[in-house]
């Protein structure tokens, strides 16, 4: 919003500029125009000061508003979580995975761990990590916990969520994360194994539960997401 206001202000100044230039030949008028200009420059300076103070809190566009959503999920301890309302008041980085993925999803999880460490080192607090499975039938809370524990994940500010198919579909549809079963095969014990082709995405939620950024999870642009996180602080 501030960015839009800024653009509007800049356009207004640009439109006024030729008027100012035509009066520079007249000293009295020029003085008078300085006064007129200050009417623009002072608010503009205040505006930019406010922008710097709030570090572009509105620099990022709202890509999707999830604030009215309340879908029930269960975290790695089987505790009920309402998504995204449980995380209201916090900035959240939400990634989407399935634990049977051997290549891309572990990269995403590793990147989330690195990001968590990066934020801790930078003393950026109040960021919650959420990893949601789009394979909830296999990824039960217990499985998610095992997946996380073997990776040494710190649960203090990180939830791994599993929910019903319907709730998972609702959330992922809203944030444009797609997935569908791909090749499948049977294990020796007759268990059906399948791979999932899926969107490689993690999202940034602001304190209101609105999507303010989207990134590749497995090829995470660290400088970009850290910059965006700081702008939402």
CB of 23 to another protein, least distance (A): 54
Q: Is the backbone peptide bond immediately before 176 cis, with ω within 30 degrees of 0? A: no
Residue 154 sits in the site that holds another protein (CB under 8 A): no
What DSSP state is assigned to residue 75?
-
Q: How far apart are CA 196 and CA 179, in angstroms?
A: 6
63 contributes a contact to another protein by CB under 8 A:
no
Note the helical H segments in 23-151.
27-53, 104-121, 141-149
Residue 85 or 216 with smaller CB distance to another protein: 216
Site string for another protein, 187-206 (x = CB under 8 A): xxx-x-x-xxxxxxx-----
H or E element, residue 12: helix 2-22
Minimum distance of another protein from residue 139's CB (angstroms): 10
Interacting residue with another protein among 33, 75, 95, 99 (CB under 8 A): 99
**CA distance linking residue 62 with residue 138, whole number of Å:** 33
Of these, 4, 70, 125, 151, which contacts another protein (CB under 8 A)? 151
Reduced to 3 states, what is the DSSP secondary structure of residue 64?
strand
Q: How far is CA 28 from CA 35, 42, 74, 116, 126, in A?
A: 11, 21, 72, 60, 55
Residue 150 as a binder of another protein (CB under 8 A): the answer is yes
Instruction: Count interface residues toward another protein (CB under 8 A).
Output: 35
Length of the chain: 233
Whole-angstrom Cα distance, residue 203 to residue 94? 5
Q: What kind and span of H or E run contains 99?
A: none
* Nearer to another protein (CB atom), residue 51 or residue 196: 196
Position 184 contacts another protein (CB under 8 A): no
Stretch of 35-43, 44-52, 58-66, 180-188 lying at the interface with another protein (CB under 8 A): 180-188
Query: 18 or 189: whose CB is closer to another protein?
Result: 189
By the rule CB under 8 A, 100 interacts with another protein: yes
- The residue among 213, 192, 178, 198 whose CA lies nearest residue 59 is 213
52/187 with CB nearer another protein: 187
Min dist CB 193 to another protein, Å, is 6
118 is a contact residue toward another protein (CB under 8 A):
no
Distance CA 222, CA 119 (A): 11
106 binds another protein (CB under 8 A): yes
Q: Which two tokens stand for residue 24?
A: 């520079």
- Name the residues that contact another protein, by CB under 8 A: 99-104, 106-107, 110, 113, 143, 146-147, 149-152, 178, 182-183, 185, 187-189, 191, 193, 195-201, 218-219
């Amino acid at each position: 919003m501030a960015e839009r206001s800024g653009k509007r202000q800049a356009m207004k100044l640009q439109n006024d500029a030729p008027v100012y230039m035509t009066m520079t030949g007249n000293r009295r008028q020029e003085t008078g125009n300085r006064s007129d200009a200050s009417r623009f420059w002072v608010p503009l300076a205040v505006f930019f000061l406010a922008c710097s103070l709030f570090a572009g809190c509105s620099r990022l566009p709202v890509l999707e508003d999830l604030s009215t959503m309340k879908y029930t999920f269960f975290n790695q301890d089987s505790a009920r979580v309402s998504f995204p309302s449980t995380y209201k008041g916090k900035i959240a980085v939400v990634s989407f995975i399935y634990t049977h993925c051997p290549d891309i999803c572990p990269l995403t999880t590793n990147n989330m761990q690195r990001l968590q460490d990066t934020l801790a080192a930078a003393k950026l607090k109040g960021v919650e990590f959420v990893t949601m499975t789009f394979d909830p039938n296999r990824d039960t809370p217990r499985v998610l916990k095992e997946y996380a524990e073997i990776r040494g994940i710190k649960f203090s500010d990180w939830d791994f969520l599993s929910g019903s198919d319907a709730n998972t579909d609702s959330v992922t549809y809203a944030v444009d994360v797609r997935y569908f079963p791909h090749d499948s095969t049977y294990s020796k014990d007759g268990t059906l194994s399948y791979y999932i082709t899926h969107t490689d995405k993690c999202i940034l939620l602001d304190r209101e539960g609105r999507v303010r950024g989207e990134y590749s999870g497995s090829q995470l642009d660290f400088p970009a997401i850290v910059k965006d996180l700081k702008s939402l602080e």
